[in-house]
Copies of this chain bind each other. A is one copy, B any other.
Amino acid sequence: DMAVRHYTLDINLSTPVDSASVVPGLLSIFHEQELTETIHDTNGHGYLATFVGKNGRLVVLRVHSHGLVTIDLQCHEDDNIAQLDNVRDQKRGTLFHQGSVIIFHFPSRLPALVRGAKVDRYWPTADGRLVEYDVDEVVYEEDSAYQNIKILHSQQYGNILVLDGDVNLAESDLAYTQAITGNGRENYAGKEVLILGGGDGGILAELVKQKPKMVTMKVIDGCKMYMRRTCGNTLDTLRGDCYQILIEDCVPLLKKYVQEGRTFDYVINDLTAIPISTAPEEDSMWEFLRLILDLSVRVLHPKGKYFTQGNSVNLKEALSLYEEQLGKLSCPVDFQKEVVCVPSYLEQWVFYTAWKK
């Protein structure tokens, strides 16, 4: 693995800056190394120097005219960067004593970015924030016709299912399964349950404890081997005492059920989160969502409940668009929502319950 570690150190100087006076102080960090310096012409946008070391180390030092100093250090993963770590450990005080003294408070000392590693640790949240996971291994990977499927091992969350780069479910995430089945408020014994999606087996594993009759679809191959804490043994056979797994597309199946007049006490839609795009008229994801939603409500028993996930609580526009769709169904519904903390998501997630008016 030849990854690159990228350290950043940012200092907001407490006083307005004259670049020429602070630079000698800043440079003292690099004094003991043999670095080749290049000073760049910035057209009056502060001071910029780059330094290249013999070992391929790269330092970018920038003093912005409004007082922000940014320092970047890129080096190979096995390079010794103890020097910069010393600087980073200081919480406040004076940074450089040689040449000039700079007072600073709490520099922003970010953990190093690891770039180009075999196992990627960065899986941004749905609301677009940069988060690093404690992932140490890719245990399964497949490019299916529909999506890229990865199962990653996390030290604290267990195995994590990642679909097309989005964290989908981890073995730690019983909270997800509980939320999408009504958080313990429902009694599934003897009930007809239709699970759409749920390919990780988590919902099925929870519900079979209550002996319902049920149908489910689309199994994700790796899960039955690598997500055992989630699916138990329910995915090992396609038919159990109180369930059957159908490897079929949802839409034709739902249409068949509508034609037959078959109804379900619960429809649990675990196919996908609400699309983030805010152009529902043009987006095929939204079209698919509306189709499934409409068919699902049509196969719902008059006293039945429809459960589904929404998206990050911060994606307010996408969530209100979804709620608009709920108002436009051929069969009118009421709904409520709940905000839940799913451990591996690193963001608060919205779940919906809908029922016929």
Residues of A within 8 A of B (CB): 2-4, 6, 8, 10, 12, 36, 38, 40-43, 45-46, 48, 50, 52, 54-56, 58, 60, 62, 64, 66, 68, 70, 72, 74, 91, 106, 108, 110-111, 113, 115-116, 120-122, 124, 127-134, 148, 155-157, 164-165, 172, 175, 312-314, 341, 343, 346-348
Contacts and interface: CB of A to CB of B under 8 A. Distances in A.
B130 A111 contact: yes
Nearest to A38: B38
Nearest to A55: B45
Copies of this chain assembled into the complex? 2
A160 to B, nearest CB: 13
Contact of A128 (B45, B111, B131): B111
A346 B346 contact: yes
A43 B54 contact: yes
B46 A115 contact: no
Contacts of A111: 124, 128-130
Contact of A36 (B41, B132, B164, B172): B41
Nearest to A2: B66
Contacts of A58: 48, 60, 62
Instruction: Tell which of A55, A121, A124, A134 has the most Cβ of chain B within 10 Å.
Output: A134
Given A50-B50, A110-B124, A172-B341, A42 B56 contact: yes
B129 A132 contact: yes
29 contacts: A2-B66, A4-B68, A6-B70, A36-B40, A36-B41, A40-B50, A43-B52, A43-B54, A46-B56, A58-B60, A58-B62, A70-B115, A70-B116, A72-B72, A91-B164, A106-B148, A108-B120, A110-B113, A110-B122, A111-B129, A111-B130, A127-B134, A129-B131, A129-B132, A129-B133, A129-B134, A130-B130, A175-B341, A341-B343
